[in-house]
Structure 1
């Protein structure tokens, strides 16, 4: 079967209708698979495990040409360490109206070209991590951190790697004021751009940090273009981040960023 479960499926809560919450781990290791739920609020795949191995995420997509619609991917491990709800390591993966919920390293956007439209990502720190080339289109990132949170941790290791996270028309919210940065470098050439997005007061004024490695200030690329909201003010941003012009932002803000004109339906 293309869709491989790594644990038994959850039992139905009644004798006549299936339970819309599956307590299981799922691995997708064949191409051209689509998973569709009735609604993300009612169709949930959940597991409870810390990130100790590549097999730890609740759901892992390892193959190309994957599509998911109206599903929630959840890891309920808690606040004591990383716990991945979804790992995406295949090329040309697209998610529509999906939810990703955990506390640390919620969405491991690992490798490949990916597209998220109208999705919701929740966590306390490092909500989106990995080294993929990804466009987040009209998505909502919500920080549950009261201190030390980060929305992203991109892992680009060399300037030659054509990867990065782009957030366009998105919304950033959180539980507290000034609790969460936009990103920090998991790799020295980390690349993240926020464009045309709403940033609430949960975003810290400095915006970005070097993760205690000042050398990354010369190599990471962090940019912002025409964002709005209390947390979008650029006068307090770290000096090594970029307030982008329209020309500078242009490569990041359409589906061309992920070659979507060739594979997105």
Structure 2
């Protein structure tokens, strides 16, 4: 038996210190503001048309910290048609928490708050071959590939993008189950 839950939150102001992702999540047309590691966890999530606003605080500022222990785990984060803004330069798109994180940014506008390296392995070079940090047709000054770390995956075509976005298996949980007729 599948359990479907929904949360609708309509607030003028909603404040959370971090988004801890466990399970499946879909964020659409949201504004998410944070500082250090403000989206982290081990679940599957899709962020669509969402603004990620980074507030620097003189520490290592990271948008995502995704936990995955092996490539066989079906977890990951996908950001599609998002907008990254903020007040602090030197922000990373993601950093390794466990050995095999998977994060994709596609069609996302990245302001100058994103550091040229963009991704961080937490000084664990053994993760370089197991991490999947992908980018596809992003724009803005923070999307420049000049200075990117070598393990960044520049997804060159739509089939690569589709394959990368399949990591969240959205068709299995974003769409309601088909009723049996």
Compute the TM-score of the two structures, normalised by the length of structure 2: 0.86
Q: Which residue of 1 aligns with 2:35?
A: 124
Equivalent position to 1:221, from 128, 132, 154: 132
Deviation at 1:185, TM superposition (A): 1.1
Equivalent position to 2:162, from 238, 250, 255: 250
Change over 3 Å in CA distance of 1:187–1:64 after alignment to 2: farther
Q: Distance in 2 between matches of 1:152 and 1:69?
A: 22
Equivalent position to 1:241, from 138, 149, 152: 152
Change over 3 Å in CA distance of 1:195–1:68 after alignment to 2: same
Q: Which residue of 2 aligns with 1:69?
A: 9
**Are positions 1:161 and 2:101 aligned together?**
no
Equivalent position to 2:82, from 143, 150, 170: 170
Deviation at 1:135, TM superposition (A): 0.6
Q: Distance in 1 between matches of 2:70 and 2:4?
A: 24
Q: Distance in 2 between matches of 1:249 and 1:70?
A: 32
Residues 123 and 143, structure 1, Cα contact 8 Å, conserved in 2: yes
Deviation at 1:69, TM superposition (A): 3.4
Aligned with 1:192: secondary structure? strand
5+ long unaligned stretches in structure 2: none
Q: Which residue of 2 aligns with 1:150?
A: 62
Runs of 4+ in 1 over 4 A off after TM superposition: none
Equivalent position to 1:186, from 82, 97, 114: 97
Deviation at 1:163, TM superposition (A): 0.5
How many pairs align?
Answer: 170
5+ long unaligned stretches in structure 1: 1-62, 75-84, 86-101
Residues 175 and 202, structure 1, Cα contact 8 Å, conserved in 2: yes
Instruction: After TM superposition, list the pairs within 5 Å mapping 1:1-265 onto structure 2.
Output: 64-71=4-11, 72-74=13-15, 85=16, 102=17, 106-110=18-22, 112-147=23-58, 148-177=60-89, 179-245=90-156, 246-253=158-165, 257-259=169-171, 260-262=174-176
Deviations 1:128-184 (A, max 9, x none): 00111111000111111154100000001122110100000001111033x200000
Compute the TM-score of the two structures, normalised by the length of structure 1: 0.60
Deviation at 1:64, TM superposition (A): 4.4
